[in-house]
A and B are shown apart, each in its own frame.
Chain A
């Protein structure tokens, strides 16, 4: 069975602080895909990144960076110099190979960035 755990239910930071959102996953598959989505108050899930299980290179996109460590089954997300607009719920998700569009989501982390 697949499982995604986001242990931090809520994080509060002050603007310009760096913040890391943790994601730990469980799967017996050797090929799988990991995702991060952002959900602002409007409700829409906004795609941020996809990583396949064979690519452990860390990725940076502007103020966002992702650290994928297969050895610890973790796929953590860091926001550098946080901004108020980063306030949202962030979800980590796992998809098995050939599982179509069936994603297993974690419970989400609510990030509040205060001015």
Chain B
């Protein structure tokens, strides 16, 4: 079975632009979460979606938004990009929303903002 897949793998954007990152969860997984990992730091939680509804939001500005589609794939959108948004964006999927099954992470999208 395929793992969590993310696209694109790398992206370069300019300050002020908008970006959309995509994630396909493991087949059968209904929950998708997004994390931001700045170089040299641990991942930070951005969003969780389950059954197309937002189930959790981290401490990120409103420039960050996400959505989940009927096939459980997800998009993360970031508006008005800042240099500080440069990071590895990780998507993770799990079976449910509140169970304690482990998260399965994708390889991430590396975003560089110039």
**A residues less than 8 Å from B103 (CB atoms):** 45, 47, 101, 103
User: Which candidate, A12-20, A59-67, A70-78, A105-113, is the interface stretch facing chain B?
Assistant: A105-113
* Nearest A residue (CB) for B90: A45
Q: Check A30 for interface membership: any CB of B closer than 8 A.
A: no
For chain A, which range describes its interface: under 10, 10 to 19, 20 to 34, or 35 or more residues? 20 to 34
**B residues less than 8 Å from A93 (CB atoms):** 42
Q: Check A115 for interface membership: any CB of B closer than 8 A.
A: no
**B residues less than 8 Å from A102 (CB atoms):** 33, 45, 48, 56, 58
Out of B97, B98, B105, name the residue touching A44 (CB < 8 Å).
Answer: B105
Contact A103 B45 (CB under 8 A): yes
Out of B55, B97, B105, B110, name the residue touching A45 (CB < 8 Å).
Answer: B105
**A residues less than 8 Å from B94 (CB atoms):** 101
Task: List A residues 85-111 near B (Cβ within 8 Å).
Answer: 91, 93, 95, 98-108
Q: Check B44 for interface membership: any CB of A closer than 8 A.
A: yes
Out of B40, B92, B106, B110, name the residue touching A101 (CB < 8 Å).
Answer: B92
Query: Which B residues fall within an 8 A CB radius of A?
Result: 3, 31, 33, 40-45, 48, 50, 55-56, 58, 88, 90, 92, 94, 97-98, 100, 102-108, 110
